[in-house]
Chain A
Amino acid sequence: MSSQENQSVNNEEELWLQQARKGDRAAFGRLVEAYERPVYNLAYRMLSNRGEAEEAAQEAFIRAWTKLDSYDPTRKFSTWLLSITSNYCIDLIRKRRALLLSIDHPLPPHPALMSDRADGPEAQAVDREREAMVQTLLETLPEDYRQAVVLFYWYDMSYQEIAEMMDTTVSAIKSRLFRARRQMAQAGAEQGLVAALQPELVSCV
């Protein structure tokens, strides 16, 4: 996207935000359309369940709507919105634990949502398999590690941005990410998932 297009998108977003602050539901609807995908994806990666992810994503937007007055326009709207989403998901995961519903056995991802790419059946099957693998590995992580991993890999956020969102230091995020990767590598090796990935491995050394 060129800088002119970026500017135009930012101006539109600013306009929608101003209108939404005045109570314009349609303007807020435009913001929902613009951010439904990143917000839903974050919720799904954190919760591993389609129904819960949709519910959590909707709840995040509702919270954003009710708290719009407390949004600081000097911050990125996306960062603020994702922060609301991830905090809500973490609360849900903790409540889930409190109810003693085990997350040791990850819920299967919904096949219809594995990928929106219009590939053939074989490619879709591979995508589904990889997607299930991703969620299985994410499920092995504690919620704060999972949050850091999701923000890093899917949202292209810098360590600094993630640290600000998670209210911690850059070095803590670096270490959390590396531990999370090691934990996933170990889990992947134990479950035989890593071996399945080896042929595709692009060696860095």
Chain B
Amino acid sequence: METEEIYALMMEALDGELSEDGLAELELHLRARPNLAREWQALQAIDSLLSHAPVLAPAEGFARRTVARLPATRQRLWLGVIAYLLLLAGGVVPVAALAWAALNLLPASVSVLLRSLWQAAVELVDLAATVLEALLSGAGELVAQQPALGGWLLLMVAVVVAWVAVYHRLVFQAERV
């Protein structure tokens, strides 16, 4: 029998799920594997130790001290909902008011208004594209004129990545077997 299969039997035995036949089979295998037999004994010892460990109580007056620390008001779900609705209204109401004013108070017809809105949106996208193009072009020229800059940037990225890796290892270093 493979070691993993013996471990599976041990697991069932510890959980009290192993039949008499299964226990006899486990015993048989353990007789032939002294290392595993020692580990089995240690596992039983740990199981017994943990099973008999008591539930500990806090120091006297814990409940009183805890109640004294409770915040005066509880965070209520409906308060959150109201806050959310107010925020939503804060955005929706002015837009609706503007739309209503545009449709009812301005002399232009609806079609003219929609065309103007579309034109404004297109111009906004054009403006964003122009700014982005200028930025990329500027960055390209800078790198072309100062080739060392690219190297420095790469070096800085490498340093940041290395520090992130070190931090991650320190914080979440795996202790699993």
Of A115, A142, A198, which contacts B41 at CB under 8 A?
Answer: A198
Instruction: Pick from A3-11, A26-34, A80-88, A160-168 the stretch touching chain B.
Output: A26-34
Interface assignment of B75: CB less than 8 Å from any CB of chain A: yes
User: Using a CB-CB cutoff of 8 Å, which residues 107-126 of chain A contact chain B?
Assistant: 112-117
Interface residues of B in 31-67 (CB under 8 A from A): 38-59, 62-67
Cβ–Cβ contact A174 & B48, under 8 A: no
Separation of A86 and B67 alpha carbons in the complex (Å): 20
- Residues 126-162 of B, flagged 1 when their CB comes within 8 A of A and 0 if not, give 0000000000000000000000000000000000000
**Closest A residue, CB atoms, query B15:** A174
Q: Are A94 and B171 in contact (CB under 8 A)?
A: yes
* B170 adjacent to chain A (CB < 8 Å): yes
B113: chain A residues within 8 A (beta carbon): none
Contact A36 B45 (CB under 8 A): no
Using A58-B69, A198-B45 as known contacts, say yes or no to A40 and B176 having CB atoms under 8 A apart: no
Number of B positions contacting A (CB below 8 A): 55
Chain B nearest Cβ from A89, distance in angstroms: 14
With A and B bound together, what is the CA distance between A153 and B56 in angstroms? Answer: 13
Contact of B70 with A113 in the complex, beta carbons under 8 Å: no
Q: Does B83 contact A (CB under 8 A)?
A: no
A–B pairs, 5, beta carbons within 8 Å: A33-B63, A66-B74, A94-B171, A98-B170, A200-B45
B contacts, CB < 8 Å to A = 7, 10-11, 13-15, 23, 26-27, 30, 38-59, 62-67, 69-71, 73-78, 170-177
Besides A154-B53, A197-B45, A205-B23, 19 new A-B residue pairs in contact (Cβ under 8 A), listed by A number: A28-B70, A29-B64, A37-B57, A40-B57, A50-B59, A54-B58, A62-B70, A66-B71, A97-B172, A113-B57, A114-B56, A116-B56, A127-B54, A134-B53, A142-B176, A174-B11, A178-B7, A184-B46, A189-B42
